[in-house]
Amino acid sequence: MKTVIFTIALGLAMTSQALPAPGTGVTSRGLAHVIENIQAPNAHALAKNGLVDVLGGENGAEDAAAAEKKKAVAAEEEKAAGDENAAAEGEAANEVELQGEFDVAVELEGGGIKQDVLFTKSTVGSFEFEFQSAEADTLTVTEKEPGGVAPAGFDFVEQNAFDVALAISEGQGLMLSKIDFVFDAASPELEGVDVTQAQVGKLCAETGAFVIAESLGELEFEAEENEVTLNLNANVTAQGEWAFFVPAADAAAQEEVAVIEDPKAAKDAKAAEEKAAKHEKAAEAKAAKDAKAAEEAVVAHPPAEEAVVAHPPAEEAVVAHPPAEEAVVAHPPPEEVAEEGHVVVEEQAAAPHEQPVVKASKHGRRSVRAF
């Protein structure tokens, strides 16, 4: 087995030395060199070294190919980086940053040059307008009190609005128009407010309210700049009144955070609420008890009006039971005697089973008496 391996190795080593370079034929010198190696006393060592050279040559070729490939990749990356830098430089060369003041006209260039106009900073940040057009224009921005109410569920970031006026285009046919607001991260007015949820709204004169809608444009929050930006759609003009809003829930969240940050105040407030609830419950129970007692007292002792009905006054009693004088008129006493020629009937209560007796008087009168 060893002999076979040796023979193969020796053949490879000698063949590599005898074979000509690409494009040339076999030379007599190469054959003579092979024969010398076979006859040499150290042929085994030569074969070993030749095999190493052959294998090393193959590995070296692979390494060289990998190196070439890596070099090509590096060259492509360098070229791409160069292209990006060139594009950035070109973009920077075509972009201008301007400083604006409210109520002061700013002249804007045409020719497709992008211009960012940043206005005077307020307590929470700065209004910015981005403009790009083939034609030059004149921009005037006025800071004012809002001309309408905030959309439902939203609050003004600050109680102001910005009226944008473009003297030439009136905001139509622009290559780019954006309404931005750069928030001041250090402003105490924004403490606890999530400005990443900020929205941009435009005033609707017909309804008297600001409108927030996707139809206005594409809204984006740029974290690096701490800026909310609205890229207006082609059919929406920048001309008009704009304002910035945050969800109304942020105000409640801010109050909740303040309570959480002061555990003692939160504990005292909770104890006060529980005490007030306890007193309120006790007062309700006492009021219910007093009302029930009052009802029972009314049932046991009816008021004077009801007592009068049960016991009518003397005048009404007289009607039911007339006095003796009226009774005499209705029932005259038996002593009364009729005039002469008339019979006077004296009625007395007859005893049981007795018949009345009629008696004649000496004056020719008769009386009837019952015995």
pLDDT at 11: 53
Q: How do the residues of the chain divide into helix, strand and coil, expressed in percent and rounded to 5? A: 45, 25, 35
More confident residue, 283 or 158: 158
Do 199 and 67 share a structural domain?
no
Does the residue 194 lie in any domain? yes
- Residue 308: pLDDT band (50, 70, 90) is very low
Say if 303 falls within a structural domain.
no
pLDDT at 325 over 80: no
Query: Do 174 and 251 sit in the same domain of this protein?
Result: yes
- Region 337-341 average pLDDT: 42
Of residues 270 and 4, the one with the higher pLDDT is: 270
pLDDT score at 36: 58
Tell the residue number behind the tokens 């709204």, with chain if given.
201
Same domain, 104 and 238: yes
Examine the pLDDT at 224 and tell me if it is beyond 80.
yes
**CA 179 and chain centroid, separation:** 23
pLDDT at 263: 61
Give the model's pLDDT for residue 74: 82
Domain match, 103 and 154 both: yes
Share of the chain above pLDDT 90, in %: 42
237 & 188 share domain? yes
pLDDT category at 231 given cuts 50, 70, 90 is: very high
Mean pLDDT score, 350-363: 48
Do 170 and 213 share a structural domain? yes
What's the confidence (pLDDT) of residue 289? 85
* Domain termination residue (choose one: 298, 314, 349): 298
Q: Does residue 242 register a pLDDT over 70? A: yes
**Is the Cα dihedral 259, 264, 269, 273 positive or negative?**
positive
- One domain for residues 110 and 228: yes
User: For residue 91, is it within any domain?
Assistant: no
Does residue 218 have a pLDDT over 60? yes
Tokens of 157: 């970031």
| Whether residues 273 and 349 fall in one domain | no
pLDDT in tens, 28-55: 555 455 445 555 555 555 444 554 444 4
Tokens of 347: 């009625």
How far apart CA 161 and CA 329 sit, in angstroms, is 104
β-strands 125-132, 106-108 pairing: unpaired
The domain boundary residue, chosen from 85, 113, 140: 85
Residue 241 falls inside a structural domain: yes
Q: How much is the average pLDDT of 252-271? A: 57
The answer on 270 and 248 residing in a single domain is no
Does residue 140 sit in the same domain as residue 218? yes
Measured from the Cβ of residue 30, the count of other Cβ atoms closer than 10 Å reads 16
Distance CA 262, CA 68 (A): 66
Strand 95-99 with 114-118, pairing: parallel
Report the CATH number at residue 212.
2.60.220
Q: Residue 356 in contact with residue 369, Cβ under 8 Å?
A: yes
Q: How many domains are contained in the chain?
A: 4
pLDDT average, residue stretch 215-221: 97
Q: Are 276 and 268 in contact (CB under 8 A)?
A: no
Whole domain around residue 293: which residue ranges? 262-298
Q: Which of 54-58, 283-287, 335-339 has the lowest mean pLDDT?
A: 335-339
- Does pLDDT of 138 surpass 70? yes
* pLDDT given at position 322: 54
- Note whether 37 and 117 are same-domain residues: no
Residue with token string 């704009």: 242
What is the secondary structure of 225-265 as a DSSP string?
TTEEEEEE-TT--S-EEEEEEEETHHHHHHHHHHHHH-HHH
* Interval 96-117 mean pLDDT: 97
Q: Is the dihedral of CA 165, 171, 176, 177 positive or negative?
A: positive
Q: Please say which residue of 35, 62, 85 terminates a domain.
A: 85
User: Would residue 323 count as lying in a domain?
Assistant: no
Count of residues in the chain: 371
**What's the rounded mean pLDDT across residues 151-158?**
96
Rounded-to-integer distance, Cα 98 and Cα 88, Å: 19
Domain-embedded: residue 306: no
Contact criterion met (CB below 8 Å) for 142 and 163: yes
- DSSP alpha helix (H) spans, the chain: 2-18, 28-39, 43-93, 249-261, 263-300, 304-310, 314-320, 324-330
Are 220 and 76 in a shared domain? no
Q: Write the DSSP string, 19-71.
A: SPPTT----HHHHHHHHHHHHSTTHHHHHHHHHHHHHHHHHHHHHHHHHHHHH
Most confident of 6-10, 201-205, 330-334: 201-205
What pLDDT band is residue 336 in, cutting at 50, 70 and 90?
very low
Q: Is residue 315 part of a domain?
A: no
* Residue 253 banded pLDDT, cuts 50, 70, 90: low
Q: What is the chain's mean pLDDT, rounded?
A: 74
